[in-house]
Amino acid sequence: MGRKQRRLGHWAAHAGILVLGVYMVLTPLAAQNSPAQNGKAPQRIAGNFDKVHILPPGGPAPRAADGHPDLTGRYYPNRAGRMLESAYRIDRSITQQFDPNVTPQVNPVFRPDVAAKYNEATPYGSCPPGGTPTSITTQATEHGPLELVQKPGVLWVLSEFPQTIRRIPTDGRPHPKNPDPTFNGDSVAHWEGDTLVVDTIAIDERMRNISVGVHGDAAAWLHSDKEHVIERFSRPSVNYLTYQITVEDPVVLVHPFTSAPLSWSLAQDPNDLWTEYICSENNQEPDAYKNLDQKVKDEYEKGNK
């Protein structure tokens, strides 16, 4: 695969998706789905979207030598086992990571005295680094893959964009005393039955929480040095991974935030390979942002608040 480069930033990329979406809406369904005139073949949207479907469980999850589920695999933030964008003409239930009617989620509640300080959208055109838990949660809108590599005593967590590598000991060791803050933070893990529980502290305060609660960069929020993130990884079947986070931060949040259990699906294409995805900061962003539709810019600035 060719190199991907994040040239135009989050909204420029989504502007392209918007154009595709507008095309799909404005093109009459009769023209999209029925045979064309003069005996020509029916018009089709590229991508084999008619073949996209919710994967079956696929049987029991594989087990590692120690008896725990083997989490190893490449997963997508949907239920189809492949990359899907929000503009694709598919049943929305396929991209839904949880059903709010079954597992409702209460979004983060910020302390009124600090909300203005910590509610801070990702600046347009910037390249936020990967970190905990953003490198995983941001895939709700970035749609990228998560790759797990499980070995005895360690779990590697890899994300394509933002490019992130986490090495997490899984032997139940405690955190070191006074760890230096990093974007990934200091993570240790232990098993609770078939669920791997990852405990992370010492996350750099410049690391924004993106799509932790409300989806999107515009709803991003900063945290204090008291932030404590608990991630739960489980594999209920071959084709599915379940990821759930709890964020504790007594300085910023009224009470801890716990996400719904989020479904990720195992990549089905054996040739689904890792690619290089580079965010090139401030590369053409001023012109791209200037030329965006004003409504799009207003929606980004206002976010979902």
Q: Mention every residue, 6+ apart, whose C-beta is less than 8 A from residue 251.
A: 111, 114, 223, 224, 226
**Secondary structure (3-state) at 92:** helix
Confidence of residue 144 (pLDDT cuts 50, 70, 90): very high
pLDDT at 44 over 70: no
Lowest mean pLDDT among 131-145, 202-216, 265-279: 265-279
DSSP annotation of 161: T
Q: What is the pLDDT of residue 46?
A: 60
Task: Please give the full DSSP string across 22-53, using - where no structure is assigned.
Answer: HHHHHS-HHHHHSPPGGGPPPP--TTTGGG--
pLDDT average, residue stretch 169-174:
96
Give dist(CA 34, CA 175) in Å, integer. Answer: 61
Q: Which residues of 217-229 are buried (b: 16+ CB within 10 A; e: fewer)?
A: bbbbbbbeeebbb
Give 105's pLDDT tier (boundaries 50, 70, 90): very high
- Residue 268: per-residue pLDDT: 96
What three-state secondary structure class fits 269?
Answer: coil
Q: Higher confidence at residue 293 or residue 39?
A: 293
> Strand pairing partners for 169?
154
State yes or no: pLDDT of 41 exceeds 70. Answer: no
DSSP state of 221: B
Average pLDDT, the chain: 83
303 and 218 in contact (C-beta within 8 Å)? Answer: yes
User: What percentage of the chain has pLDDT greater than the value 70?
Assistant: 79
Structure tokens at 82: 């492949």
Specify the DSSP class assigned to residue 94.
Answer: G
Measured distance CA(150)–CA(156) in Å, rounded: 6
Quick check: 79 pLDDT over 60? yes
pLDDT band for 294, please (50, 70, 90 cuts).
confident
For the cut 90, the answer to whether the pLDDT of residue 57 exceeds it is yes
pTM (two decimals): 0.80
Q: Tokens at residue 244, please?
A: 């759930």
Q: CA torsion angle for 80, 81, 86, 92 (degrees, to 10)? A: 10
- Nearest Cα residue to 256 out of 229, 219, 280: 229
Angle subtended at Cα 70 by Cα 68 and Cα 75, rounded to the nearest 5 degrees:
140
For the cut 50, the answer to whether the pLDDT of residue 8 exceeds it is no
